[in-house]
Structure 1
Amino acid sequence: MIRTNHARTASIFIVLITTLLSCSKKDVTLTPADTTLSALDTDASGGITVTQHAAVPASWYKLELKLIKESAGFTPPVAARAIAYTGIALHEAVVNGNRYGHSLGGQLDALPRLPAPERYKKYDWAIAANSALAAIIRQLIPNASPTNAALITQLEAANLDTLRPGVSQEVVNRSVAYGQSIAAAVYQWSATDGGKDGYLNNFPDTYVPPAGPGLWIPTPPGFQRAMLPYWGNNRLLVRNCSPLTYLPHPPYSTDSTSAFGRSAWSLYQKSKTLTPTETNIALYWADGTGTFTPPGHLIGIAVQLADEQQLNLQETAALLARVGIGLNDAGIVCWKYKYRYNLLRPVTYIRNLIEPGWNSLIGTPPFPSYTSGHATFSSAAGHILAARFGQQFTFTDQQKVPDGFTARTFTRFTDMIDEAAVSRIYGGIHYDFDSENGKISGQDVARNVLSLQL
């Protein structure tokens, strides 16, 4: 039965992607089932217009988020890393199709000059993108199940079959080879960043957390070892960035009138008085184990907006590269904070000092509290999106509709950032200063990413 269901899912997936790309020179109208990245089997109604060129990366990000959800070890920072290198490979595969475009070679830390297309030879950039994305995703998620690995091969072939009409075989071959060469070069570079095998060892037994008042200890219910304690040592993608000042949290104190104590008590009291709206916000942004993770949620929004705004292939590639780079560096910066300060989680503080047996609304992740990953990720991505579309920009996040949530509409990207950040307070797993300072460091990351020339 499991094999039958997997085969059915694979068939549905390829049918959806073939439909997505079925008009090589025209726009096609798709329902959110075709464009929302959090699932493949929604029956939500409505339609948005998707340009053919933007549909090529959209199809691959849809599949990548499915693989992240279903492949072991792709925790949020690991997922952000995969998303980042996917966007870089996409951008580099098509940047030469834009006379005003700039390669990231020489701009990102230790990224050398990448393979260049042959002069005076013709390329089909959508075919090159398809080839590069297939190759890089296959390498970045090597532990995909056999069924999902087969989807990579099937999607690559389905896209190529749709894109090749009217293109000479010589150009097809040249474009495919070029995309593969870009993916190979990007992957070779990625392997030197310190995070290549993170998905294999999220909980290293070599790490012994420091002990003392106010310091992190494993939390209920799983009491797992610390997750990715060395991730903050990974290489940032954006080099020569402006200083990221380490913002200290309020000094740890058991005094309920201290700044720290007041924050803990505020969170505890909020947990007792959550409104239905606040509860929904906490659950909407949870994106925990078994989901496409917070970075996946945010790149999903970016792909959705690229589709809705009808960005062309190069514009889509530049946007997704920027957002992906921001998510990766946000994860590294946040995890550097987490293991620099090793702050205990609210559940530990509250159970020890306020109410034994207290539980948070959502599960507490197995790593220190300060700063908030959600706040850092959403701030980095949100400010990058605001730079592209404008701060006063109304959009509707459809990514969780397949999971039974109502789509959420925002009139500013800062509203999205603030809601994602406060969701972790409503969920009972972060102090308010975790979120506020996470937003600051995420904005710093975005500023550095926006200094790149794409």
Structure 2
Amino acid sequence: MVTKNTYIGVLLISTSLLIFSCKKTKEDVVNPQPVAAISAPASSYDNEMPTNWLKLHLFLIKDTPGYAPPVAARSLAYASLALYESVVSGMPQNMSLSGQLNGISGLPQPDSTLEYNWALAASTSQYTILREFFKTTSDKNQVAIDSVRKFYEAKLKVGSSDPTIERSIRLGSEIALKIFEISKKDGGQDGQVANFPANYVSPGGIGSWKPTGSQVIPLLPYWGSNKTMASENLKNNLETPLTFSFEKNSAFFAEAKNVYFVSQNLTSEQKQIALYFADGGGTITPPGHHFNIANIIVKKEKATLDKVAEVFVKVGLSLNDAFISAWRGKYEYNLMRPSTYITQSIAKTWSPFLTNPPFPEYASGHSTAAGATVEVLESIFGKTYAFEDNTYSPQYPNRKFDNFEAYGQETSLSRVYGGIHYRFSCDNGYACGRKVAKNILNLKFKK
């Protein structure tokens, strides 16, 4: 088993062994002037630094109590936004998202007459945002965050003048701090310490969610009211679920019976899929899994810093809004889990292959996030991009996919195989995620 200390040591040692190859030779401004004429462009830096910061971020999600999937998606969104905004002025074809996102404006901008080291600004932004979002993590993890900062600060400043180093660090820090201050107003602040608010009372009624374990208060019941990144995602992108019914000739009964039938005939491959995509407690969670796919691909493509920043921010903003949308549906419809339905109407002693999470059923968060991720990655890398998922190596064998849709569908259907979602919950959630991501992609990233 890889321990926390082992991980941190491997991260720091491996990065120190890499050959230095990063640099090859006041008010809101939505479209800042590029500083490329003075500064080396963001495209002149490689992907080592941002992908290693992401690895640490995913580790912190796994190792910090309270980082449930919606909370994890939120931290990844703001970190990716800080990354993008810290380098966008070094991307001549791109535009800042300041003033385009819901409630996010007034981000600091660089002085177009001065030189900046975009990689140094970006690294500082990641350090600053992680320190703010993970104040509740362990002391050892805090040391790890600071160690990665020191490593990249020493590495990336080579070749830059002292004034350039100072202003680049200041820019990255100021952008991250401004973004963090804005994040306090989105409704999700400190979600990691309030997963199960004691003041919430679950509504009753026929077909409503009932606890399936010892956790009586459901997870993050107010999360669906959070402010989305895209204003368009404030709208409900989720279809109404099937009308609830215990009648044996109803469409709802047929859906529950399908879950039961699948569970009684699970193949070894379906069990493996259910376990592989469980992404439960003590893991990097579903949004972390999707981000790891993005990380795998940008490294495979040898993407430069500018490309990584654009990929990450599109994935991050989409996942944030996808989880808000899914959680909005969960507490608006408050639908019971298949296990409750099946034990009441089909088989009294039945239990799902996976353990039920402590919150209402509709819609599947896994599926909603998968749909959003697929929409983004297809828009960037195309619909026929083949890749290999090594997220849980060596615990589980790597999984190979011919395209993003195959990955998304397998992620979504894993919840039916696990017995914890109806098929319509997965299908509708997946479609919702695609709509959410389209609204993110409709923002103006390019000039």
Q: Normalising by the residue count of structure 2, what TM-score does the alignment of the two structures yield?
A: 0.92
Q: Which of 10, 17, 22 is the equivalent residue of 2:8?
A: 10
Q: Write the mapping of 1:168-183 to structure 2, written as runs, cut at 5 A.
A: 168-183=161-176
> Residue type of the partner of 2:77?
A
Q: Does structure 1 residue 162 correspond to structure 2 residue 148?
A: no
Q: Hey, what does 1:88 align to over in structure 2?
A: 81
Identity of aligned residues (%): 38
Determine helix, strand or coil for the equivalent of 2:50. helix
In the alignment, residue 143 of structure 1 is paired with which amino acid? T
After TM superposition, the structure 1 stretch with the greater mean CA deviation from structure 2, 222-231 or 137-146, is: 222-231
Would you say 1:149 and 2:147 are equivalent positions? no
Conserved? CA contact 2:336–2:360, under 8 Å: yes
Answer yes or no: is 1:74 the counterpart of 2:70: no
The reply to whether residue 290 of structure 1 matches residue 274 of structure 2 is: no
Give the Cα–Cα distance (whole angstroms) in 2 for the partners of residues 126 and 431 of structure 1. 45
Q: Secondary structure at the match of 1:78?
A: helix
CA distance in structure 2 between the partners assigned to 1:409 and 1:453 by the alignment = 33
In the alignment, what sits opposite 2:399?
408
Q: Which residue of 2 aligns with 1:318?
A: 310
Amino acid at match of 1:335: W
| SS of 1:396 mapped into structure 2 | strand
Q: Is contact 1:246–1:337 with CA below 8 Å preserved after alignment?
A: yes
| 8 Å contact kept, 1:21–1:56 | no
Q: Which deviates more from structure 2 when the two are superposed, residues 305-314 or residues 290-299?
A: 305-314
1: distance between equivalents of 2:380 and 2:167?
Answer: 32
Counterpart pick for 2:439 among 430, 439, 448: 448
Distance across 2 between alignment mates of 1:100 and 1:339 = 41
Higher mean C-alpha displacement, 180-189 vs 391-400? 391-400
Where does structure 1 differ by over 2 angstroms across 4 or more consecutive aligned residues? 5-13, 16-26, 240-246
Could you report, residue by residue, the CA deviation over 1:354-384 in whole angstroms, capped at 9, with x for unpaired residues?
2223211111000000100000001001110
The answer to whether the Cα contact below 8 Å between 1:21 and 1:55 also exists between their aligned partners in 2 is no
Contact 2:21 2:46 in 1 (8 A): no
Question: How is 1:365-376 mapped onto 2 (pairs within 5 angstroms)?
Answer: 365-376=357-368
Alignment of 1:144-293 (within 5 A): 144-220=137-213, 222-241=214-233, 243-293=235-285
Q: 1:62 maps to which residue? A: 55
Describe the SS at the equivalent of 2:231: coil
Using a 3 Å threshold, how does the CA distance of structure 1 residues 333 and 227 change in structure 2: closer, same or farther? Answer: same
Shift of 1:245: 4.2
Q: Which amino acid aligns with 1:376?
A: T
Question: 1:8/1:241 Cα in 2 relative to 1: closer, same or farther (>3 Å)?
Answer: closer
Determine if the alignment matches structure 1 residue 121 to structure 2 residue 114: yes
Counterpart CA distance in 1 for 2:198 and 2:167 is 47
Q: Which moved more, 1:171-180 or 1:393-402?
A: 393-402
The answer to whether the 8 Å contact 1:79/1:295 transfers is yes
Distance in 1 between the 2:416 and 2:66 partners?
26
Query: Does the Cα contact within 8 Å between 2:227 and 2:234 map onto a contact in 1?
Result: no
Residue 400 of structure 1 and its aligned partner are, at CA, apart by 1.6
Over aligned residue pairs, what C-alpha RMSD do you find? 1.6
TM-superposed CA distance for 1:135, in Å, is 0.2
Can you list the C-alpha shifts for 1:303-359, whole angstroms capped at 9, x where unaligned?
A: 111111122111110110010000000000000000010000011111122222321
Tell me how far 1:205 sits from its aligned partner. Answer: 1.3
Separation in structure 1 between the aligned mates of residue 8 and residue 254 of structure 2, nearest angstrom: 51
Which shows bigger deviation, 205-214 or 330-339?
205-214
- Matched with 1:301 is 293
Q: Which amino acid aligns with 1:370?
A: Y
Residue by residue over 1:143-166, the C-alpha shift from the partner in whole angstroms, topping out at 9 and shown as x without a partner, is 110000000000000111221222
Q: Which runs of 5+ in 1 are unaligned?
A: 27-50
User: 1:322, 1:449 within 8 Å by CA — same for their partners in 2?
Assistant: yes
Alpha-carbon shift at residue 190 of structure 1 (Å): 0.8
| AA in 1 matched with 2:74 | R
Whether the aligned pair in 1 keeps the contact of 2:233 and 2:321 (CA below 8 Å) is no
Aligned length: 424
Q: Would the alpha carbon gap of residues 319 and 9 (structure 1) be closer, same or farther in structure 2, given more than 3 Å must change?
A: closer
Q: Confirm or deny that 1:431 pairs with 2:444.
A: no
Please tell me whether the aligned partners of residues 361 and 427 of structure 1 are also in contact (alpha carbons under 8 angstroms): yes
Which amino acid is the alignment partner of residue 411 of structure 1? D
Q: CA deviation at 1:21?
A: 6.3
Separation (CA, whole Å) in 2 of partners of 1:174 and 1:18: 25
Instruction: Show CA shifts across 1:376-415 (max 9, x none).
Output: 001001110100000111111111213x211111122111
- Residue 400 of structure 2 aligns to a residue whose secondary structure is strand
Distance 2:17 2:101 in 1: 36
CA 1:293–1:217 in 2, change beyond 3 Å: closer, same or farther? same
Alpha-carbon distance in structure 1 between the residues aligned to 2:16 and 2:130: 19
The 3-state SS of whatever aligns with 1:89 is helix
Gapped runs of 5+ residues in structure 2?
25-43
Q: Report deviation, 1:243.
A: 4.7
